[in-house]
């Protein structure tokens, strides 16, 4: 079931915001909010309740195929099939059940009901195989890979939920799966990024450099491709992800019998103090230089999702809290914007405002247990303590101390000076 949730988490792409369509005239005190199709995001999901893991990822999304370069002809051809929901490559081990661990996958996802029509399961296999055969040569060329047909896989309803509570059973999907020999993530990242991602974006640093370093870890997973959005332009994705998970062990089930499950043995999995950048081994994070000179605060986002074992709330953050996103003025200062304050699923997005960098200390978040006797199922952001990291003020204090000390030394010296 966990693999099903993981796979569907890859398939279900959710755009963190919608920067492509969001631009407005500036307020008197705010710059003009501009458009950009390139979205870079960093996400850390602390899931104590379901997968018992920490999932860290860097992702790039766009609707512009000049950013992630699939040809106009391929996009038009894929969009001509209303049954298709996504086309992805992934080097995840056992991308679907039955695929060997030493293979990676190209997957063409279909709306299961459209494939089936009024017929039975045979129609799903026949129509899925027919459409995928008509497209696979072009898709393999786009990824620069030679994959062979493996199977038509049905993503069955197992009644599971994703960490934010969306019912995964709403995704009625069948995938045509093609496989090829598995390669290490650093090799896959180099090949696919050079083939698909615009050179200017690759050379602009920022989140891309973090993803590049992250891909050197052999446990990371690379996923890239496109998700279709009806008649709209497809959403193209390039993502690097790693999962930290505890060791398998036995726990007591509800019926008293031993139950095999993951134990909480992941280093730093205590959610009382969260430091997102620690999972990427960096002390500060820079935005892409591609955005220099442009006010596009929604195009670089750090997302933190906490799914606690017990009801919890955010107690303290080290940066500003953004209460609303009604105008450009709300986005000038960097800080946290909370899209969910449920005591069962906290979802916070850090926006850079007019800043180009953020430090690890600024992103630290402290979480406390929630008193369920209060009757509320969410906390108020007004009750979160804000501990601003004012390094600039500290520098002024240090400078003042140096100046005072220097004046004191000069006075002491001059007291002993006599005119000759």
Share of the chain above pLDDT 70, in %: 76
pLDDT of residue 320 exceeding 90: yes
List Cα–Cα distances, 184 to 3, 215, 402, in angstroms: 20, 9, 53
pLDDT of residue 166 exceeding 50: no
* pLDDT tens, position by position, 43-57: 999 999 888 899 999
* pLDDT tens, position by position, 266-282: 544 799 999 999 999 99
The pLDDT of residue 392 is 44
The pLDDT of residue 258 is 54
Q: Dihedrals φ, ψ of 410, to 5°? A: -65, -45
The pLDDT of residue 103 is 97
pLDDT of residue 367 exceeding 90: yes
* pLDDT tens, position by position, 206-249: 999 999 999 999 999 999 999 998 889 999 999 999 988 765 55
The pLDDT of residue 419 is 39
pLDDT of residue 397 exceeding 70: no
Domain locations along the chain: 2-369
The DSSP call for residue 170 is: G
| Angle between the N-to-C axes of helices 207-214 and 185-196, in degrees from 0 to 180, rounded to the nearest 10 | 150
**Mean of pLDDT values over 3-12:** 47
Rounded to an integer, what distance in angstroms lies between the CA atom of residue 309 and that of residue 263? 13
Rounded to an integer, what distance in angstroms lies between the CA atom of residue 124 and that of residue 102? 27
């Amino acid at each position: 079931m966990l693999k099903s949730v993981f796979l569907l988490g890859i398939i279900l792409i959710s755009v963190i915001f919608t920067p492509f369509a969001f631009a407005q005239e500036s307020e008197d005190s705010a710059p003009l909010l501009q458009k950009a199709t390139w979205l870079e995001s960093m996400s850390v999901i602390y899931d104590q309740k379901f997968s018992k893991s920490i999932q860290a990822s860097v992702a790039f999304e766009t609707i512009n195929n000049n950013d992630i370069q699939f040809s106009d002809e391929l996009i038009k051809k894929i969009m001509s099939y209303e049954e298709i929901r996504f086309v992805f490559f992934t080097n995840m081990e056992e991308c679907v059940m039955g695929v060997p661990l030493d293979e990676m996958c190209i997957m063409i996802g279909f709306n299961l009901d459209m494939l089936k029509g009024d017929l039975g399961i045979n129609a799903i296999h026949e129509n899925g195989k027919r459409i995928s055969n008509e497209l696979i040569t072009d898709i393999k060329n786009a990824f620069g890979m030679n994959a062979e047909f493996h199977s038509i896989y049905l993503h069955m309803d197992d009644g599971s939920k994703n960490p934010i509570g969306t019912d995964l059973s709403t995704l009625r999907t069948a995938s045509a799966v093609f496989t090829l020999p598995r390669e290490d993530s650093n090799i896959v990242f180099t090949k696919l990024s050079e083939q698909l991602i615009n050179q200017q974006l690759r050379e602009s640093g920022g989140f891309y450099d973090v993803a590049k370093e992250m891909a050197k870890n052999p446990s990371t997973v690379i996923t890239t491709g496109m998700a279709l959005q009806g008649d709209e332009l497809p959403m193209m994705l390039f993502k690097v992800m790693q999962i930290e998970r505890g060791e398998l062990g036995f726990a007591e089930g509800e019926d008293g019998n031993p139950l095999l499950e993951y134990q909480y043995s992941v280093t730093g999995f205590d959610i009382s103090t969260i430091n997102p950048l620690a999972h990427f081994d960096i002390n500060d994070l820079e935005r892409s230089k591609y955005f220099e000179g442009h006010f596009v605060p929604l195009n670089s986002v750090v997302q933190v999702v906490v799914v606690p074992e017990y009801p919890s709330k955010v107690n303290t953050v080290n940066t500003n809290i953004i209460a609303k996103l009604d105008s450009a003025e709300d986005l000038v200062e960097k800080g946290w914007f909370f899209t969910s304050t449920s005591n069962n699923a906290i979802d916070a997005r850090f926006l850079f405002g007019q800043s180009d960098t953020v430090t690890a200390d600024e992103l630290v978040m402290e979480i406390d247990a929630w008193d369920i006797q209060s009757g509320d199922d969410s906390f108020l952001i007004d009750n979160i303590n804000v501990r601003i990291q004012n390094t600039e003020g500290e520098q002024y204090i240090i400078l003042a101390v140096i100046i005072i000390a220097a004046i004191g030394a000069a006075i002491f010296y001059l007291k002993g000076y006599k005119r000759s």
